[in-house]
């Protein structure tokens, strides 16, 4: 560990003296409860308390954590830095995947929570207090840096400094994974709707907890994050997603108003996206078979409803993505047309692969079934887009159910074989 460290004050060498990490300039770290604390600094970040990390504002959802980790593409033995680690959930996940994990945060409360989380899990994470600007690590120390839900809490100058620090500490070819929420576009839309409705429509409560709103210093757009990353020397891939306002706005509006921003900054040239609507796919591992029970959310495109156990309903048309590592000749689907009118009229399902129609099938009973299509020509290794389209949808409410969604077909599994 010592070989990676440098003094965050003067960039000099740190040496271990009686359990402390000391520099000739007078700076030192004191190890306490598995956390390296800046000696003599005191806890200058009391706003970020244990209560804050337990509040509804702090997103500890499995969806967010798994997305961050999948974008980080953790491999055993790689060095990972969690910058602004908060309660240590992401750092712990990376450690359990076999990475050598370092984590920094200005908040002592956050670091102590992280240390306890690591101890309870039997994991090792090297935790450091830092001043919010200078990282205590040498150049090219990390394969991956994670900066999740930090950008909204700091001003532009600090963000610029931290992104430059990320660039400095990344190895050539390394990646920075960044997430920030709520997005500027969503906050603007919420404020506009509130004004138009004379205060009766309040979307902002779904984006920010009023008690901690003062901790949000700067909201970012895709353009602002892209600009900051480029200025730091990183090659950015940036996109927006809708999570907190999903089902709060009409679909055609919410697709244009992301409420969270995701980005990957590469220390090197970014790949041209295979599918511009999903630029992150070239940065992650995808299987050749998508099982709705345990697949990554990144594989699911537009037109799918949330998972219901082991399947997902589609709208009239839905898209998913998979990756083939070798030549494949067949496309296999496990689907069900669970609707009450099939005896009178079969449901027609059309399947397209990379824009080309590979087949059509008529479903005349509501049970789950497997369908296998022979591909006209074998597909080559790489990313592929599958589109499923049915000839009509139904609304369960019209058949005595409370569900008002327009449903197409239930999808269990899709893969190339």
What is the per-residue pLDDT across 47-97, written as a single tens digit (0 to 9) for each?
A: 666 666 665 545 567 888 999 999 999 999 999 999 999 999 999 999 999
Main-chain phi, psi angles of 412, to 5 degrees: -100, -45
Q: Residue 386 has what pLDDT?
A: 98
Neighbouring C-beta atoms of residue 197, cutoff 10 Å: 11
Q: Residue 46 has what pLDDT?
A: 53
Q: Residue 43 has what pLDDT?
A: 60
Query: Per residue in 84-109, is it b (16+ CB within 10 Å) or e — as a string?
Result: bbbbbbbbbbbbeeebbbbbbbbbbb
The pLDDT tens digits for 85-134 are: 999 999 999 999 999 999 999 999 999 999 999 999 999 999 999 999 99
Per CATH, the number for 15-266 is: 3.40.50.150
Pick out the chain residues at pLDDT < 50. Answer: 57
How far separated are the first and last CA of the chain, in Å rounded? 45
SS3 of residue 112 by DSSP: helix
Per CATH, the number for 286-416 is: 2.60.120.260
**Are the CB atoms for 325 and 288 separated by under 8 Å?**
yes
Q: Residue 36 has what pLDDT?
A: 97
- Residue 86 structure tokens: 């908060």
pTM summary value: 0.88
**Are the CB atoms for 292 and 318 separated by under 8 Å?**
no
Rounded distance between C-alpha atoms, residue 80 and residue 311, angstroms:
34
**Are the CB atoms for 355 and 370 separated by under 8 Å?**
no
Main-chain phi, psi angles of 122, to 5 degrees: 70, 30
Rounded distance between C-alpha atoms, residue 117 and residue 60, angstroms:
13
How is the chain split into domains, by residue range? 15-266, 286-416
Q: CA-CA-CA-CA torsion for 365, 366, 371, 376, nearest 10 degrees?
A: 70
Sheet with 142-148, side-by-side order of all strands: 15-17, 20-22, 28-32, 35-38, 125-129, 100-105, 79-83, 142-148, 170-180, 260-266, 235-241
Residues found in the chain: 417
């Amino acid at each position: 560990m010592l070989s990676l460290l440098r003094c965050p004050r003067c960039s000099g060498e740190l040496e271990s003296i009686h359990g402390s990490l000391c520099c000739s300039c007078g700076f030192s770290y004191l190890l306490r409860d598995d956390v390296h604390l800046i000696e003599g600094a005191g806890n200058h970040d009391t706003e970020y308390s244990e209560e804050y990390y337990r509040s509804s504002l702090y997103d500890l959802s499995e969806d967010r954590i798994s997305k961050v980790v999948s974008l980080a593409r953790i491999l055993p033995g790689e060095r990972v830095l969690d910058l602004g680690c908060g309660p240590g959930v992401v750092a712990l996940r990376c450690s359990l995947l076999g990475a050598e994990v370092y984590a920094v945060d200005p908040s002592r409360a956050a670091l102590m929570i992280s240390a306890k989380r690591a101890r309870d899990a039997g994991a090792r994470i090297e935790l450091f207090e830092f001043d919010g600007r200078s990282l205590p690590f040498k150049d090219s120390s990390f394969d991956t840096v994670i900066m999740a839900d930090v950008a909204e809490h700091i001003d532009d100058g600090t963000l610029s400094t931290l992104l430059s620090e990320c660039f400095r500490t990344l190895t050539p070819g390394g990646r920075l994974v960044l997430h920030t929420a709520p997005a500027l576009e969503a906050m603007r839309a919420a404020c506009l709707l509130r004004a138009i409705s004379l205060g009766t429509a309040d979307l902002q409560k779904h984006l920010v907890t009023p008690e901690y709103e003062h901790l949000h210093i700067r909201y970012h757009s895709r353009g602002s994050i892209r600009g900051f990353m480029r200025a730091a020397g990183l090659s950015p891939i940036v996109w927006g997603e809708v999570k907190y306002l999903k089902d709060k706005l009409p679909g055609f509006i919410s697709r244009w108003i992301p409420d969270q921003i995701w980005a990957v900054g590469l220390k090197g040239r970014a790949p041209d996206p295979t599918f511009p609507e999903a630029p992150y796919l070239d940065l992650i591992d995808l299987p050749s078979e998508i099982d709705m029970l345990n697949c990554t959310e990144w594989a699911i495109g537009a037109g799918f409803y949330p998972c219901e156990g082991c399947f997902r309903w589609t709208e009239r048309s839905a898209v998913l993505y998979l990756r083939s590592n070798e030549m494949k000749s067949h496309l296999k689907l496990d689907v069900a047309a669970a609707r009450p009118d099939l005896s009178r009229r079969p449901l027609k399902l059309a399947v397209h692969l990379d824009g080309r129609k590979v087949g059509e099938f008529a479903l005349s009973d509501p049970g789950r079934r497997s369908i296998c299509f022979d591909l006209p020509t074998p597909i080559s290794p790489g990313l592929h887009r599958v589109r499923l389209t049915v000839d009509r949808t139904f609304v369960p409410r019209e058949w005595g159910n409370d569900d008002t969604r327009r449903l197409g077909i239930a999808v269990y599994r899709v893969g190339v074989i």
